[in-house]
Amino acid sequence: MPELPEVETIRRGLKKEILNRRIIKIQVNLPKLIRIPKANQFKARLKDTMIEDIRRQGKFILFFLHTGDRLVVHLGMSGLLLYQENELIIPQSNKKHHHIIFYFQDGSKLIYNDVRQFGKIWLLEKNDELAEIKALGFEPLGYYFTFDEFYRMLQKSRKNIKSFLMNQKNVAGIGNIYANEILFHSGIHPLRKANSLQIDETRTVYQNIRKILSRAIALRGTTMIDESYRDHKGNKGQYMDDIMIYGKRGGTCPICGRHIEIIRIENRSTFVCPVCQI
């Protein structure tokens, strides 16, 4: 579910709420979500710690603890991080899927909820690095992701442009929704080979990556259906209103009116206007 804009929205929301609160208890209902270390170790090392900072790399959220440890969360397809003060009920968060709960000293709590259980959690010691994070490519909104670098990377790749954009080793944080949207806005067919893009086409895609992800963050992400993405308080995003093509089964192109085609690329539904995307 969550791509860069959704993960970033959650990061910013949590950062306003939970910094420097003491974790007094950790409840683990589904231990398999924790990759490192074992559940008892996980609880023992987290108890009585405080979160000093929260950062994001690609679709990973990193909680920096005052002990030097880092708690790393990947939300997979359906993970939610819900913050509850007091006993506020968040209706769409079925307790059945509350897999890990962090209790703070002031009575509030942070809940990891995940219907499909594809999410992953790690607790790393100071100097440990996660291979999956090390392998990430450019932050698409970061300083180092320049047009020149992007063009160079595309020229080296013989993959289709959509797979290229979704590969986290190239650019970190783009998933199926935003890959579809970026290519539609750019008028590029998803099956085009990356190294076949002309320099002006590459510039268009580059600019759309930054434009679309920025706007989606400003609108707090995309909630396609009710049970899907929510922010840390259970609120929906608003970027759905901007969605041009993703999920428009049986729909028509908002530009030319042609029937939208659906193809599969690496087993993911890919929506394309055969007229506007070439």
- Catalytic residue, from 59, 70, 109, 120: name it: 59
- Catalytic residue, from 2, 5, 140, 190: name it: 2
Cβ neighbours for 31, distance < 8 A, ≥ 6 positions apart: 38, 39
Provide the minimum distance between the beta carbon of 67 and DNA in the complex, in angstroms, as a whole number.
26
Provide the minimum distance between the beta carbon of 107 and DNA in the complex, in angstroms, as a whole number.
28
- Catalytic residue, from 22, 25, 233, 268: name it: 268
268 is an active site residue: yes
d(CA 8, CA 214): 10
2 is an active site residue: yes
- Closer Cβ to DNA, 20 or 267, answer by number: 267
59 is an active site residue: yes
Provide the minimum distance between the beta carbon of 86 and DNA in the complex, in angstroms, as a whole number.
26
Of 185, 182, 195, 188, the closest CA to residue 155 belongs to 195
d(CA 72, CA 64): 9
Bond preceding residue 37 cis, omega within 30 of 0: yes
- Closer Cβ to DNA, 84 or 160, answer by number: 160
d(CA 147, CA 200): 11
Which residues here bind DNA, judged by CB under 7 A?
Answer: 1-3, 6, 32, 58-59, 74, 76-77, 94, 96-97, 115-118, 132, 157-160, 163, 166, 168, 175-177, 193, 221-225, 227-229, 237, 264-269
- Catalytic residue, from 3, 6, 8, 181: name it: 3
87 is an active site residue: no
Provide the minimum distance between the beta carbon of 104 and DNA in the complex, in angstroms, as a whole number.
27
Cα 214 to chain centroid distance, Å, stands at: 13
Bond preceding residue 31 cis, omega within 30 of 0: no
Of 104, 86, 79, the closest CA to residue 27 belongs to 104
Active site residues: 2-3, 59, 268
